[in-house]
Every structure is written in C-alpha cells, then in structure tokens.
Structure 1
Amino acid sequence: MTLNLKKTLLAAAVALAATSVNAATELTVYTALEADQLKSYTKGFETANPDVKIRWVRDSTGIITARLLAEKENPQADAILGVAATSLLVLKDHQMLQPYKPKGVEALSEQFVDKDATPSWVGMDAWVASICYNRIEAEKHGLPLPTSWKDLTKPVYQGHVVMPNPNSSGTGYLDVTSWLQTFGEEQGWAFMDDLHQNIDRYTHSGSKPCKMAASGETPIGISFAYRGAKLISQGAPVDLAFPSEGLGWDMEAAAIVKGTKNLDAAQKLMDWAVTRDANTLYNDNFAVVAMPGVAKPVENYPADIADRMIDNDFEWAALNRERILKEWQRRYDGKSEAKN
C-alpha cells in the first residue's frame, strides 16, 4: 500500500468518525437528579446508545415541573428522567406525556410502573425522607437527636430546623403530603403549624438542608437519606434520623414528552431506564430500586428502610398538588429563602 493511499484511507476514517459523532442525536432531558449522579447515568446510557447524546436541563423538582407546564404548547424537552412520579402524574393529567412501553418493563415491580396498558411513565428508584442531625452543633445548643417528626415541634428546637419549600422541592412536597397522609389533613396542618414555629428557613432545594447541617449552618435539616448518607461517607459530623411515624417517599421516574421530534432516541432512553444495568446504577445512590433482586445494602442506610416507608398514595398527592401547595404557601412562605 502506497503512502498516499494510506493517508487517503486515514483521512477517510477520520472523516467517517467525525460524521458519526456529528450525526448523534442530541436528546434534551429535563431532570431533578442530583448533579453528582448525572455523570454515571450519562456514561451508562451513552455507552449503550452511542448514537444519542444527552443534554441535561437540571433544577429542583418543583421548578422543572412548573417549566414543563409552562412549555406545554411548545415543548422544549424530549424526555424526563429523575423527576418525581407525583409530578409526572400531573403532566400525564395534562396529556403531556407520550405513552410508551419500554422493552423489558415487565421485570420491574408493579408499583414502579404506570398502571395503563401502555405506560406513560416508569419508576427508577425511591428517595426517602430523613433528618440530618449535626451532633457537634446540636450538642452546643443542647438538642437531642429527634426520633419522631413530632419531636421537632418541641420548644427546644426553636430556630434550629431547616426544611425544603414544597413549591420548589420534590423532597419538600413528599414531606408535606406524607404528613397529611400519616396524621390526617386536619392534624397534618396542625403539626406543620407547630413545626413552623421552630423553622429557621425554608430552602428551594431538597438537599440543601442536609448540606447546611453538614457544614454547621444549622443543627437539623429535614432532607432525604441519599444526601445525608453521601455526606456521612465524606466525613461530615452528621447522623441520620428516621422518624418513628414512618418515612415519606417519592419515586424518581422517566417519561417521554409528547411532541418530541426525537421520539426514537427518547424511546431508547426509556428502554435503557428499565434495564438491570440502569437499576444497578440507581442502587449506587438509593436502597430501593424498581427492579426486584438488584438492590444491595447502601452505606449509612438502615437495612429495613423499605419497611419504614409509608403507604404513599401518589394519585392523591398528584390530584391535590395545586391545593396543597397553595395552602402551604399561604401559611408558611414568609420564612422561605429568596429565590436566586
């Protein structure tokens, strides 16, 4: 083979590779996943689907949900991955999701799949409420480790509790709806009235209260187990408390946005989301995942965390979302942080 021919073939190969990269479909995916989860999920999906590249648009659950609703007549997203199932039920009610039955979805637990014959969404994993307790700061203020939600209404905790705003945070919304289901609506609002007296502020991120506890900005942050477990592994002086009345939870879920021009690529994302490989990645962060038999114990989670999760009525939480958020805002929004 002559030198010129070798150069010609090499140039052609480089051009072909460049063409293949340029030909990859860019899939715009809205997500509320934690930023430190996106790298492994991107790698997992794109390795299995090299012809598709994900462009993530990330924000808190409430903000992503509001954005999708605002874009209803002119959708900007192709798909959704890692947004609360309660939010996807709202979008489904607005006929904004494209039904699709992913290949292999039968392997998932029934509770993680939309009940329609052709599901509009599929679940990924469950994220669970918890209390992040900074033992150093708590000792300074004489604050015992709370063992129940109602403990947090005791006068000793006044000004020492931070929690997420449910209008912007999915974690905040699962807290509020779980309390209303656990205590009943009348007693649930009464509990939140008492809790409000002890709240220092409401944040617009579900993970922020735990991060604040880890850094010593607050002794107690109502957050979720994933963030607390990660911070403990990084050496933060935090303990996780799992209140005795039961733990609110929601599931991260995936769906296709109706009207996407990249339907084939969006279907590939859904097919990947229900695979064993994807569920194994979910288990790196969460102790409860959609595919039975995959989950292994997660560091700093209690082994029986699934047994502590309440019997959550997602349909009720979705149906009553607007009413609950409006009532919460009327009562408590005065302590919310300013939005960036």
Structure 2
Amino acid sequence: MKTLKYALIGGAAFLPAGAMAAELNLICSADVVICEKLVSEFEASHSDIDVNMVRLSSGEAYAKVRAEGRNPQTDLWWGGTGDPHLQAAHDGLTAEYKSPMLDKLQDWAQGQAKTSDYHTVGVYSGALGWGYNKDIFAEKGIKAPECWSDLLDPALKGEIQIADPNSSGTAYTTLATLVQIMGEDEAFDFLKKMHANVSQYTKSGSAPVKAAARGETGLGIVFQHDAVAQAVEGFPIEVGSPCEGTGYEIGSMSMIEGAQNEESAKVFYDWVLTPEVQNMMPEAGSFQIPSNASATPPKEAPDLSKIKLIDYDFAEYGSAERRKELLSRWDEEIGSLPLQ
C-alpha cells in the first residue's frame, strides 16, 4: 500500500507535484455519464492518481462493499441514495472522515454526516416522483397522474416501470416514502394493487424513465431530476410530483473502512465537494441540487420549495434492521407476484 502525502489548497486536498502514481478504486452509483464525467475531470486535474471506476446501483454497491468487508477492494463509494450508505455506516463498513469541506456544505448534507457519525456525507439531493411520456398518454387517452393514488388507474395497466428496491436506492426510497405516508400495511396494499399496472421491475433506478423516453412504457417512477434529464435531451417526458407528498434522497459519499488507497480517496472526497466540481455536473445531465452551499443549482432542477416533501426519516429507514424488514416483506409480497 502506497502512503501519499497531500496538501490542502483552497479547502480541498491535492497531491503535490512529484508524488508517486497512486490508484483509487471507486464505486459510482449515479448515472454512468455522470460517473464518467467525474473520473475524466478528476484524472485531468490529478494526473498522478489513476481511477478504477465501476458503476453499480445503490443496492448493488452496498452488497459489494459488504461482501468485501474482510478484504476491501473498494476505496470510495460516491453517489446513490443515502439509506444504503447509512446502513453501511451502521454495519461498520465505512470509515469516519471529516472533510475540510464539511462546513461549506448545505445543512442537509452536514446532517447526513452527523447522522452517520461522519461515516458518510451528502453530495446532492433530489425529490421522488415520476416522468411520463406525453405522447403515449395522449395517444392512449390516459389522464396524467397527480397523486400516488392515480397510479392505480386501470388505464395504466402495463404502463408503469419502477426498479427493484433490493438493487435500487430509488425504489427503496419509494418503498420507504409510501410506508411513511400511508403506514406499512397500507403501503404494501397499495403496492400490490399497483403491481397490476407494472410491466417491469428494473435493476437501475433511472431505467424506468429512460424506457418511457424511448416509448417502451408510459411512466417511470424515479427521482424527478432523472425525468428532467430526459426532457432536456428532447424526449416527450413530463415530470410529476405526487399530491400526497413525496420523499427525497440525499445522495451520499462514503470512504470504505480499511481502504487500500485511503489518501487517494481523501483527495477525491475533498475535490468532489468543491463548488467548482459540483457546478460541472449539469454538463453530464445531472440536475440534482448540489450539496456545496456555494454551488449553483441547475436552472432545470426541480424547485424543492415548490414540492410537498415529507419529513423523511433517514435514521430509521437507513438502519440495517428496518431496511432488511421492508425488503424481506417486499420480496415476499410484491417481488414474488407474477407480472401481468
């Protein structure tokens, strides 16, 4: 294992000139375009660190980190919903780290760090909702949904896609949101009824709205910024926000306990929290709210102040016990059902 010295410049860490080449093994749980943008920009400004990146959804990332617990092969996990990051912290899989950038972050990002005893931190935020294909809805005479309850409309039979909450943080956030809005038994009753309208449970959280954009399905339940990204690309996608209220994510970042390349991980960690880096994200189609208070939210980003957000309990629904209970019940009562 190489031991590298790094200096703080403008509040962020950078390797000095002449340092030995190092490696960083990174899991990225955002869209692959965003992941590739981050790696490209980081390697351009840190030529003495080579990044080995793998793109995994939040649930897959947690499973990989857990499987490697005794012999970590990953140094840093960036992006994806905060719940599995909190579970990894609870399980002792991630390391405590207080970045020098911490006090430059939004309150909600710092709150995520405090909740985890500084084993994770918020990097972006976004509200849950859906994106639907306006052309398909018009052609089939389907009324645009305004509330969660509207997703039970028989006209939507076979027109809804949502990810599997075992692999997708987006879908787990949906599950936890519905439980908090409706109550657990009522939420599972709702999901059983909605199942009649579901054509596919995808692995990736953003896949459903991409399918809607391509005309393969009518509606995808996703984070609203993922629907915005498809609309910005020119697809006939309209963004929806449920009237009953909705949950939101705090996309997070965690350094792995026992990381082989800890110093490289700290360099990336500090760098990605700077406003300069977060301001680049819309170039990769990322329209989340950035965590650095000095960063500029994308003009296309949904205005969270105009969305009815619930008081999402990250501590409870990010705990290992609660996640396991809800996912086990989903597997038994929803995942086991045949698709229509």
- TM-score interval for Structure 1 and Structure 2 normalised by the shorter chain: 0.7 to 0.9
Could you tell me which residue of structure 1 aligns to residue 40 of structure 2? Answer: 43
CA change 1:231–1:283 in 2 (3 A) is closer
Matches of 2:230 and 2:204 in 1, distance apart?
A: 16
| Residues 45-86 of structure 1: per-residue CA shift (max 9 Å, x gap) | 334433222111111111111111111111110111113221
Aligned to 2:196, the other structure's residue is in SS state helix
CA change 1:97–1:212 in 2 (3 A) is same
What aligned pairs does 1:245-264 form with structure 2 within 5 A after superposition? 245-264=244-263
User: Contact between 1:125 and 1:282, CA under 8 Å: does it hold in 2?
Assistant: no
**Unaligned runs of at least 5 residues, structure 2:** 1-16
Matches of 1:36 and 1:304 in 2, distance apart?
A: 24
Could you tell me which residue of structure 2 aligns to residue 333 of structure 1? Answer: 335
Deviation at 1:151, TM superposition (A): 0.4
Give me the TM-score of the superposition, normalised by structure 1: 0.86
CA change 1:131–1:336 in 2 (3 A) is farther
Could you tell me which residue of structure 2 aligns to residue 324 of structure 1? Answer: 326
Matches of 1:222 and 1:111 in 2, distance apart?
A: 24
Deviation at 1:210, TM superposition (A): 0.5
User: Contact between 2:288 and 2:297, CA under 8 Å: does it hold in 1?
Assistant: yes
Deviation at 1:282, TM superposition (A): 4.2
Aligned to 1:83, the other structure's residue is in SS state coil
Matches of 1:68 and 1:306 in 2, distance apart?
A: 36
1:268 aligns with 2:267: yes
Deviation at 1:130, TM superposition (A): 2.1
User: Contact between 1:100 and 1:118, CA under 8 Å: does it hold in 2?
Assistant: no
User: Contact between 1:133 and 1:213, CA under 8 Å: does it hold in 2?
Assistant: yes
CA change 1:306–1:73 in 2 (3 A) is farther
Letter aligned with residue 259 of structure 2: T
Deviation at 1:307, TM superposition (A): 4.2
What aligned pairs does 1:270-309 form with structure 2 within 5 A after superposition? 270-282=269-281, 285-299=286-300, 301-304=301-304, 307-309=307-309
**Unaligned runs of at least 5 residues, structure 1:** 1-19
Aligned to 1:129, the other structure's residue is in SS state strand
Could you tell me which residue of structure 1 aligns to residue 312 of structure 2? Answer: 312
User: Contact between 1:60 and 1:168, CA under 8 Å: does it hold in 2?
Assistant: yes
Matches of 2:116 and 2:126 in 1, distance apart?
A: 26
Alignment size in residue pairs: 317
CA change 1:195–1:216 in 2 (3 A) is same
What aligned pairs does 1:136-285 form with structure 2 within 5 A after superposition? 136-282=135-281, 285=286
Matches of 1:94 and 1:303 in 2, distance apart?
A: 34
Structure showing greater radius of gyration is 1
1:74 aligns with 2:75: no
Aligned-pair identity (%) = 27
Aligned to 1:57, the other structure's residue is in SS state strand
Greater helix share, structure number: 1
